[in-house]
Amino acid sequence: MENILDKTERVLKLRNYSPQTRKAYMLYIKEYIKFSKKAGIKNKQKAIEEFLLDKHTRMQSPQTVNLAQSAVRFLYTEVLKNPQKIDLKFAKRNKKLPIVLSRAEIEKIIEATDNAKYKLMISLGYACGMRVSEVVQLKVSDLDIDELVVHIKGAKGKKDRISVLPEKLQDDLRNSIAGKSKGDFIFVSNRTGVLTTTSLQKMFRKSLAKAKINKSATFHSLRHSFATHLLENGTDVRYVQELLGHSNIRTTQIYTQVTNPKLKNIKSPL
């Protein structure tokens, strides 16, 4: 198994998969190999089916099941070069609406964050529609503070994109990059020097609780809120798509369901 895993790791790196995807694929491939050996199933199709059914039995999400299936497909097609087709469809995903915070709730969360560094990071997550990893990885050279533009590099899907910066954060950003070189990270840990996404997510949860907001929001909810509020302000959905970096406009259009003014104007008959 070690030889297969080593080879898989090399192929993933050669294909330039992101560290997060490599980690997930390696986890599920290792799980699959152990599962199929323990079950003693020699037929590839049957082994994969039983592996995925086991995940369904353990109530794992459709997203997890699909990611596991993608990892196993990668193992057979890209690593082992097995010509036999895997005749399986992906699990149907749950169509949940995104959790959106109101402008007032976001203001409360920011005000509840005492640490100035994390306060600015949470503000940027909302103001620019950035993912938690994108905020953590921001470098000085990514900002054009005078032009109110942020260049988000190597985002999900290895795509670069441009987003907007708010005027009210100009001074805070200038103070944050003062004395730093272009290639330096804007936000660093005082102890290790490397700031993790976990630490930012943890701080967001603390601020959410301190602000006494009962929604099951995460840092990613700031990105959902960014898109929703832009649409409420009348921004064309195609521009929102570009700011979010979505390849397909259908992904962006889910926010039109959250912000549909016609639905909000309907009064209950009670």
Q: Catalytic residue at 255? A: yes
| Correct CATH for 103-264 of 3.40.640.10, 1.10.443.10, 3.20.20.100, 1.10.357.10 | 1.10.443.10
Ranges of CATH 1.10.443.10 domains, the chain: 103-264
Of 112, 115, 117, 113, residue with least CA distance to 188: 117
> Do the beta carbons of residue 133 and residue 111 sit within 8 Å?
no
Torsions phi, psi of 150, nearest 5? -120, 135
Among the options 117, 161, 223, 224, which is catalytic?
Answer: 223
Among the options 25, 118, 126, 255, which is catalytic?
Answer: 255
Q: Catalytic residue at 131? A: yes
Using a cut of 0.85, tell me whether the model's pTM lies above it: no
| Tens-digit pLDDT string for the chain (270 aa) | 678 899 999 999 999 888 889 999 999 999 999 999 888 888 888 999 999 999 989 988 888 999 999 999 999 999 999 887 888 888 777 677 889 999 999 999 999 999 999 999 999 999 999 999 999 999 999 999 999 999 999 877 778 999 999 999 999 999 999 999 999 999 998 887 789 999 999 999 999 999 999 999 999 999 999 999 999 999 999 999 999 999 889 889 888 877 766 666 777 787
SS3 (DSSP) at 148 = coil
Q: Catalytic residue at 246? A: yes
User: How confident is the model at residue 43, as a pLDDT?
Assistant: 86
User: How confident is the model at residue 261, as a pLDDT?
Assistant: 64
User: How confident is the model at residue 94, as a pLDDT?
Assistant: 67
How many Cβ atoms from other residues are within 10 Å of residue 32's Cβ? 19
| Class for the domain spanning 2-79 | mainly alpha
Q: Catalytic residue at 156? A: yes
Ranges of CATH 1.10.150.130 domains, the chain: 2-79
Among the options 108, 117, 119, 131, which is catalytic?
Answer: 131
Among the options 22, 30, 180, 220, which is catalytic?
Answer: 220
Among the options 22, 156, 206, 210, which is catalytic?
Answer: 156
